[in-house]
Structure 1
Amino acid sequence: MRRWIALVLLSLGVSMIIVDATIVNVIVPVLVRDLRLTSTDTQWVNEVYSLVFAALLLTSGSLADRLGRRRIFLLGVGVFAVASVACALAQRTPALIGGRVGQGIGGAMILPTSLSLINATFRGRERGIAFAVWGSTIGATAALGPLIGGWLATDASWRWAFGVNVPVALVIVAVLPVVLHESREKVRRPGLDVLGSLLSAVGFAALVFALIEGRTYGWWSSIRPFDLGGFAWNAAVSPIPVAFAVAALVLGGFVVYERRRQRTGRAVLLDLDLLRIESFRNGNIAAMVVSLGEFGLLFALPLWLQYTLGYSALRTGVALLPLAIGSFLASGIAQPLTGRLGAVAVVRLGIVAEIAGVGGLGLVVGADTPWWASAVPLLVYGVGVGLATAQLTGIVLAEVPVDAGGQASGTQSVSRQIGSALGIAVLGTVLFSRLQAGLAERLAGTPGGDRIADAVGASAGGAISGLAADPATAAAATAARLALAHAASVTAYTAAGFLLLGLLATRTLGPPRTSARLEPADAPAPQQSR
């Protein structure tokens, strides 16, 4: 019974970081008003969390193996809670951004350790159930974030969007040590891989920054200046190709350095021999490709709901609820399906459901879509996310030694984060390029049409309400709504295409019943200590 209580607490920890990753997008307009954020401030409040989070995932997972997975998880929950208080109390922009940095650090400690703790605690059929709950938590809370943020921004204060994390964290810190034993690697190599940690952090941060900010600063030529802490980049070449180059060089150096340390028997951040495990290597590739289409679409849907259909932040969250419901439903059917079909078959079934749901959204998205028309596709999409995420995670970790669970979980989390960032980059580019081009076509011959199209594109649709309020530009607002709806539809079809690639990538996972061989149901539980 204790381990199931522990699973609930681990899932609550994951829910904090997933909700926080989505909730800020909803409360940004209120932050701009209350803290007088500039466009650059807004960008960093949003993105610094993702950058720090991605940079430290591998380091946190590896440290958890050495120092104790429960210890690092609880430390991460504490850091996240303190950083949330700092965000909630922030009176100026630097304090808010600093709090978001702290949340990124805490989140990077929570996510991979939650996975490795589940991997170390559960066996056989119970492990499949535990991963199903964990995977459904991610899908459901990703959809609940906008609802919670919209409710708090509308009826309370944006500060509670951060403050709600504190009671959750207190419960986790108080109860988890009572119900969950500590686990760590049994054989410890000498030394700490400090340089490896630094190289991985710099490399992954540069890569995620380039993927997320390519549209903002230009993929090659600069389209706006880059400012950070007094440093200004004003060159003709965008900082994005430089960031890609830094990521390639640093991560390449990381691999060489890790291989060299491993040959001398010293501790490494990532045991590269793990990549020889077929299920781990191919599972990570499939997870990254699937993530391209899974969560990139969640970037586009709120924009369509708010700026085309005119929904409030709260109503937008309610409209996305079927996704959360579908993900929760998946947790109940995932294990019986896995027992009958095998984990690989359930992953493929989940991705097929995601393709059907996303394709259905592409069909129903329009300028006057009723609320119920998107509910069924979102429900199907949520079921698919719940099925695919949980079982794919189980496949990735199935043959990994428990001693390496932290670094393996960190690697899998990094793969998903990179896939998600790439999905947002590509789908965001598709959405905004189609919005701007489509509106320019609709306003061709209209005085100031190009300027209006540029403004709507630059604001991600936010300028539509201002256009609608002015009788002189009301017709342009109608055209903008139609253009945004069409762009969102094209984006949904593009996401479905990525998911189809993810389905093809699962061919490397083997036949559908492979999971029966991979699942180490009879493996002895690791020695654990308080």
Structure 2
Amino acid sequence: MSNVTAPTVSTRRWAGLVFISIAVALIIVDSTIVNVSVPSIVRDLDITSTQVQWVQESYTLVFAALLLVFGTLADRYGRRRLLITGISVFAAASVLAALASSGNVLIGSRILQGVGGAMVLPTTLSLINATFRGKERGFAFAIWGSTIGGMVAVGPLLGGWLTTYYSWRWAFGINIPLAVIIIVGVLLCVAESKDAGPPRRLDVVGAALSIIASASLVFGLIEGRSYGWWLTNTAHAPVIGTWTWPFALSPIPITGAVTVVSGALFIWWGIRRQRAGKSTLLAFSLFAIPSFRNGNIAAMIVSLGEFGIILSLPLWLQNVLGYNALQTGFVLLALAIGSFFASGVAGAFSQKVTPVTLVQVGIAAEILGVTGLGLAIGSTASWVTIVPFLFVYGIGVGLATAQLTGVVLKDVPVDQSGQGSGTSSTARQIGSALGIAVLGTILFTSVGASLDTRLADQFPGLPESARSQIVDTVVVSAGGAIPGLVEENPEIGNAARDAFSDGTRYSALAAAGFLVFGLLATLRLSGARRPEDVERVLEEETVD
């Protein structure tokens, strides 16, 4: 009987991994599929550049803020149950996004999608951690990580095809049939798992503090260029209904203070509860494990550099080079091909070099690719000069993402896999959110400054008011106004193309700089656990 049952259980387990990977693909694709659709959304819904960032950022921000909460809930109440719930919420939000009639409605739908996505990502990791052992677990993590790396680029291709031949709304509508497939597959092939014993109470205070800290941080980074980093920009002061921000001090320093205070309180509160033997949102004892602690630091920094550049490239390819959404997707497909190629390379060398080495090689390839992109970007560039660097960048994403996940979680106890995966995913998503916020700010600030300087130098007789209006139009439209300017006045339009290329270049080079710091962070990664670390973790788990 056992000879028949074992292969059946094994087959079901691997089939379950397929549906888990599709679930990961769904939420990761949705973080990038919108990128190539942004110009069409701008034209259709008449949204501003700040709203463009929020269409991207609202999803990622809520995603990051809730990962720890849902990772903990998955451990306590059932990982498969929360995965199915998350997919259902995500699908419902996708319907609302597809039917959105304004930028604010679309942003609200993206927020709800972020809630569903936050339920899905940590549960997929913890299900893998609980289902697979030994070498099988490493292989399963590699599939999970390669799926993320590949979907980052497949999303723009799929979004480009749907936007070009149908509508940007189908970039959201396609989630519905995929969600149905995932739910059926997970119910049939994935076994439920959760912590043994009765569920402990959720740390509500810790959850609230973590949400406040992450939300205020990203809000400040995105809105700083509009509201003013220190003093209020009266032309763009915050408005709620009929009330306008009346203070000279911008709200951004205030949100920064909220970030610092809430972050410090979150750590203090969590350690205090842990020492009292109470449940915590974050398993602080896991940070005694070097691979977990150092891996999460590296993952956050690397994600900051990785995903921020995906915001600016589609805007540049369409508004400056004149590609349509589908052509843009094909250009970015080079990234996906490189990522999938990397999974084969990692498999071939997995027995010859350590996972940490593969991570470091991957980040080095990312640095090379992004730096090459920065140097190749220009108003006269073409896909021929861009694709090779995207391919190299994709190889790096595939190697780093797949292997780094395994390094971070390989020493995490199974009964804390939800908290561990939630922490790991949170580190990545905070990095991604910061990347979009920071590099988006660099992009639009640089475009504005470069265009203002170019117009002043090339058109000295142009009134300052007219110059400011042109700059504002290009920046607020996220470059969408450039094709119209080229038709109306080729010289001014070309100055705008050059300026947007400058901003995209600076954004790429800034991403490369962050990746350098990420590479330096991996130098502290270790594949072994020190005896004193093991004893400390076991002692704290006994107390809990």
Query: TM-score, length-normalised on structure 1?
Result: 0.90
Partner residue of 1:78 out of 88, 107, 110:
88
Structure 1 residue identity aligned to 2:193: S
> Is 1:10 aligned with 2:28?
no
- Cα gap change, 1:308 to 1:44, in 2 (>3 Å): closer
- Cα gap change, 1:338 to 1:234, in 2 (>3 Å): farther
Name the structure 1 match of 2:230: 220
Measured after TM superposition, the shift of residue 33 of structure 1 is: 4.9
Name the structure 1 match of 2:498: 482
Q: How does 1:334-373 map to 2 (within 5 A)?
A: 334-373=346-385
Name the structure 2 match of 1:525: none
CA RMSD in angstroms comes to 2.4
Give per-residue Cα distances to partners, 1:117-163, cap 9 Å, x unaligned.
11222222222222222222222222222222222222113332211
Partner residue of 1:504 out of 520, 527, 534:
520
- Cα gap change, 1:446 to 1:399, in 2 (>3 Å): farther
Q: Which moved more, 1:125-134 or 1:233-242?
A: 233-242
Structure 2 residue identity aligned to 1:447: L
> Is 1:112 aligned with 2:122?
yes
Q: Which moved more, 1:409-418 or 1:20-29?
A: 20-29
Cα distance in 1 for residues equivalent to 2:322 and 2:39: 15
- Cα gap change, 1:234 to 1:52, in 2 (>3 Å): farther
Cα distance in 2 for residues equivalent to 1:325 and 1:234: 52
Measured after TM superposition, the shift of residue 360 of structure 1 is: 1.6
Tell me if structure 2 keeps the 8 A contact 1:193–1:269. Answer: yes
Q: Figure out how many residues of one structure are paired with residues of the other and give that number.
A: 513
- Cα gap change, 1:494 to 1:28, in 2 (>3 Å): closer
Tell me if structure 2 keeps the 8 A contact 1:147–1:314. Answer: yes
Cα distance in 1 for residues equivalent to 2:243 and 2:198: 42
- Cα gap change, 1:63 to 1:437, in 2 (>3 Å): same
Tell me if structure 2 keeps the 8 A contact 1:343–1:514. Answer: no
Cα distance in 1 for residues equivalent to 2:300 and 2:61: 17
Name the structure 2 match of 1:463: 481
| 1:341 partner SS | coil
Tell me if structure 1 keeps the 8 A contact 2:321–2:381. Answer: yes
- Cα gap change, 1:120 to 1:163, in 2 (>3 Å): same
Tell me if structure 2 keeps the 8 A contact 1:188–1:267. Answer: no
Tell me if structure 1 keeps the 8 A contact 2:304–2:435. Answer: yes
Cα distance in 1 for residues equivalent to 2:502 and 2:332: 19
Cα distance in 2 for residues equivalent to 1:98 and 1:359: 35
Tell me if structure 2 keeps the 8 A contact 1:211–1:421. Answer: no
Name the structure 2 match of 1:63: 73
Measured after TM superposition, the shift of residue 431 of structure 1 is: 2.6
The unaligned stretches of length 5 or more in structure 1 are 521-530
Tell me if structure 2 keeps the 8 A contact 1:215–1:425. Answer: no
Cα distance in 2 for residues equivalent to 1:133 and 1:200: 30
- Cα gap change, 1:468 to 1:95, in 2 (>3 Å): closer
Measured after TM superposition, the shift of residue 287 of structure 1 is: 0.8
Tell me if structure 1 keeps the 8 A contact 2:228–2:250. Answer: yes
Q: How does 1:241-256 map to 2 (within 5 A)?
A: 241-256=253-268
Cα distance in 2 for residues equivalent to 1:508 and 1:265: 30
Cα distance in 2 for residues equivalent to 1:37 and 1:434: 20
Measured after TM superposition, the shift of residue 231 of structure 1 is: 6.5
- Cα gap change, 1:476 to 1:37, in 2 (>3 Å): closer
Name the structure 1 match of 2:249: 237
Measured after TM superposition, the shift of residue 180 of structure 1 is: 1.5
Name the structure 2 match of 1:53: 63
Tell me if structure 1 keeps the 8 A contact 2:57–2:436. Answer: no
Structure 1 residue identity aligned to 2:149: G
Query: TM-score, length-normalised on structure 2?
Result: 0.88
Tell me if structure 2 keeps the 8 A contact 1:212–1:421. Answer: no
Structure 2 residue identity aligned to 1:461: G
> How much identity, in percent, do the aligned residues show?
55
Tell me if structure 2 keeps the 8 A contact 1:355–1:499. Answer: yes
> Is 1:274 aligned with 2:286?
yes
Tell me if structure 2 keeps the 8 A contact 1:128–1:335. Answer: no
Measured after TM superposition, the shift of residue 331 of structure 1 is: 1.8
Q: How does 1:9-408 map to 2 (within 5 A)?
A: 9-35=19-45, 44-91=54-101, 95-187=105-197, 190-223=200-233, 224-227=236-239, 232-408=244-420
- Cα gap change, 1:277 to 1:494, in 2 (>3 Å): same
Structure 2 residue identity aligned to 1:106: G
Tell me if structure 2 keeps the 8 A contact 1:129–1:331. Answer: no
- Cα gap change, 1:362 to 1:158, in 2 (>3 Å): closer
Q: How does 1:411-450 map to 2 (within 5 A)?
A: 411-443=423-455, 444=457, 445-448=460-463, 450=467
| 1:219 partner SS | coil
- Cα gap change, 1:334 to 1:43, in 2 (>3 Å): closer
- Cα gap change, 1:433 to 1:407, in 2 (>3 Å): same
Name the structure 2 match of 1:523: none
Measured after TM superposition, the shift of residue 19 of structure 1 is: 1.8
Q: Which moved more, 1:484-493 or 1:406-415?
A: 484-493
Tell me if structure 1 keeps the 8 A contact 2:294–2:524. Answer: yes
Give per-residue Cα distances to partners, 1:332-386, cap 9 Å, x unaligned.
2223322210111000010111111112212322222222221111111001001
Cα distance in 2 for residues equivalent to 1:39 and 1:441: 20
Measured after TM superposition, the shift of residue 480 of structure 1 is: 2.0
| 1:297 partner SS | helix
Q: Which moved more, 1:230-239 or 1:11-20?
A: 230-239
Measured after TM superposition, the shift of residue 39 of structure 1 is: 6.7
Cα distance in 2 for residues equivalent to 1:234 and 1:6: 56
Cα distance in 1 for residues equivalent to 2:317 and 2:462: 28
Measured after TM superposition, the shift of residue 273 of structure 1 is: 1.0
| 1:16 partner SS | helix
Structure 2 residue identity aligned to 1:316: T
Cα distance in 2 for residues equivalent to 1:362 and 1:42: 22
Structure 1 residue identity aligned to 2:513: G
